């Protein structure tokens, strides 16, 4: 079969999330790998979806999304960030953030163009950039003491006149970093200087901890006209299986995204779109409680992994923590994660697939804490009773 695979996919391995969730299913291990909550989102949102299913909302939604969701997204951006958008041509609903990222890259980038991207990167970025036949230019997030920070010197050295697009993720999966004011200013500075379009994946916008606030890059001076912002109901409302996302920005940039998107899915999830509109308008309290609960779960998991000598980073946002398994003598994260179900009945994610720079990610393992407290406690219990050395 491999010889029939199109060349554009030769450098794209199968997604690690499928591989590791299959490993969890096969071994019955606790899945702290793929990032999905083990509890549904708000009941009122499910009821809104049921009402839409029963109420005849079952045919194609308009290509850019149903008007009530586009309007709700615009209201959300205004309320949370003071960003003004015209729902008619500055908001497009997508099949999750994944399609928004793909449509942004395919709609704005030509073969051979350079795309600078924060590294480690969510794996669909790699696939999308390869499928667009663009040239990937990673900009590292590096561990500095107890946290990960954007390497702003590398950013300045990488982004230049050849850069067509800068793809940024904040809050950042998998490092948990939330870009700070200095990092945001550096991104704005290079983007404006080199007239680069910035695509910001903000799917974890509401999952930030210790009183932090997510500040969209689109709100920085000179950035509104060059920034596309992407989010998704999957993370904010715990409906990852619905795959309802959106992209917002200036009409001149949203139009190319829609041009590509219309040929990817055209449209999706018609009855779920009004339910997500309901969530954005009425479930703010759910999101706040979700973030508060996740902060406690973060502390539970990080404290537990720390006691086991796994050296975890306490993330500022997202629902992942990274730990370094070199301290336990492992040659790389992949071998640790392959052994972990047998040793401890737990699955985690090796981060090597998220790096061009194999050395930088070699020993980093990602653990998800978007799980019930009892599940995290059981996982920690199993880990503490296992031999985790190489
Ligand atoms: N971006 C990041 C950083 C993610 O972690 C994920 C995974 N949930 C996505 C995009 C994809 O989001 P969606 O499921 O809405 O396509
Ligand atoms: N975004 C989720 C994660 O990072 C997984 C999404 C997927 O399975 N593609 O774990």
- Provide the residue ranges of all domains of the chain, joining segments of one domain with +: 7-40+284-384, 43-283
> Topology of domain 43-283, per CATH?
3.40.640
Ligand 1 proximal residues by C-beta, below 6 Å: 35, 96-98, 122, 169, 173, 201, 203, 232, 234, 240, 243, 245
pLDDT of residue 145: 87
Predicted confidence at residue 314, as pLDDT, reads: 96
Q: Which CATH number fits domain 7-40+284-384: 3.40.50.1470, 3.90.1150.10, 3.65.10.10, 3.40.50.300?
A: 3.90.1150.10
Q: Closest residue (by CA) to atom 14 of ligand 1?
A: 96
Indicate the top mutation candidate among 33, 36, 120, 171 to test ligand 2's pocket, ranked by most ligand atoms within 8 A of CB: 36
Task: In whole angstroms, give the CA distance from residue 191 to residue 163.
Answer: 9
Pairwise CA distance, residues 312 & 229, whole Å: 29
Q: Alpha carbon 194 to chain centroid distance?
A: 26
In eight-state DSSP terms, residue 60 is: P
Spatial CA neighbour of 251 closest among 286, 284, 280, 227: 227
Task: Provide the Cα torsion 213, 118, 149, 240; round to 10°.
Answer: 40
Model confidence over 53-97: pLDDT tens digits?
A: 999 999 999 999 999 999 999 999 999 999 999 999 999 999 999
The first and second tokens of residue 134, run together, are 């663009």
DSSP conformation class of 37: -
The stretch 203-230 carries a mean pLDDT of 98
Burial class (CB in 10 A: 0-12, 13-18, 19+), 272: buried
Please state whether beta strands 135-144 and 91-95 pair in parallel, antiparallel, or not at all (unpaired): unpaired
C-alpha 125 – ligand 1 centre gap (Å): 10
Pocket lining: 35 vs ligand 2, CB cutoff 6 Å: yes
Query: How remote is the CA of residue 368 from the centroid of ligand 1, in Å?
Result: 14
Task: Convert the pLDDT of each residue in 222-263 to its tens digit.
Answer: 999 999 999 999 999 999 999 999 999 999 999 999 999 999
Give the model confidence (pLDDT) of 319-361 as tens digits. Answer: 999 999 998 999 999 999 999 999 999 999 999 999 999 889 9
pLDDT at 358: 83
101-133 pLDDT, tens digit each: 999 999 999 999 999 999 999 999 999 999 999
pLDDT tens per residue across span 4-40: 999 999 999 999 999 999 999 999 999 999 999 999 9
- State both tokens at 324: 């370094």
H or E segment and range at residue 199: strand 197-201
Whether residue 1 has pLDDT greater than 60 = no
């Amino acid at each position: 079969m491999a010889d029939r695979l199109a060349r554009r996919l030769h450098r794209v391995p199968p997604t690690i999330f499928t591989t590791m969730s299959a490993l969890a299913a096969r071994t019955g291990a606790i899945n702290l790998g793929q990032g999905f909550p083990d509890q549904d989102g708000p009941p009122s949102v499910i009821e809104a979806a049921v009402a839409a299913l029963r109420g005849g909302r079952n045919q194609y939604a308009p290509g850019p999304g149903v008007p009530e969701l586009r309007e709700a997204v615009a209201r959300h951006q205004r309320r949370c960030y003071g960003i003004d958008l015209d729902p008619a041509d500055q908001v497009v609903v997508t099949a999750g953030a994944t399609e928004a990222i793909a449509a942004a890259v395919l709609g704005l980038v030509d073969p051979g163009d350079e795309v600078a991207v924060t590294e480690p990167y969510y794996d669909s970025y790699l696939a999308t950039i390869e499928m667009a036949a663009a040239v990937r230019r990673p900009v590292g997030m590096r561990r500095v003491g107890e946290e990960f920070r954007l390497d702003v010197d590398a950013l300045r050295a990488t982004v230049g006149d050849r850069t067509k697009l800068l793809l940024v993720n904040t809050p950042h999966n998998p490092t948990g970093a939330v870009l700070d004011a200095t990092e945001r200013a550096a991104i704005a500075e290079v983007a404006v200087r080199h007239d680069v379009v910035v695509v910001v994946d903000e799917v974890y916008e509401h999952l930030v901890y210790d009183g932090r606030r997510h500040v969209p890059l689109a709100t920085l001076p000179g950035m509104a006209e060059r920034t596309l912002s992407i989010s998704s109901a999957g993370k904010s409302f715990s409906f990852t299986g619905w795959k309802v996302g959106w992209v917002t920005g200036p009409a001149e940039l949203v139009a190319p995204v829609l041009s590509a998107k219309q040929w990817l899915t055209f449209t999706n999830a018609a009855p779920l779109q009004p339910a997500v509109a309901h969530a954005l308008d009425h479930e703010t309290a759910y999101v706040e409680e979700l973030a508060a609960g996740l902060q406690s779960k973060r502390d539970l998991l990080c404290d537990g992994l720390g006691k086991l000598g796994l050296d975890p980073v306490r993330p500022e946002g997202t629902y992942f923590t990274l730990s370094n398994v070199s301290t336990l003598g492992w040659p790389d994260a992949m071998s640790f994660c392959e052994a972990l179900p047998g040793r401890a009945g737990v699955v985690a994610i090796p981060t090597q697939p998220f790096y061009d720079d194999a050395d930088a990610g070699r020993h980093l393992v990602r653990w998800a804490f978007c799980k019930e407290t009892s599940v995290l406690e059981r996982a920690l219990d199993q880990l503490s009773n296992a031999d985790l050395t190489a």
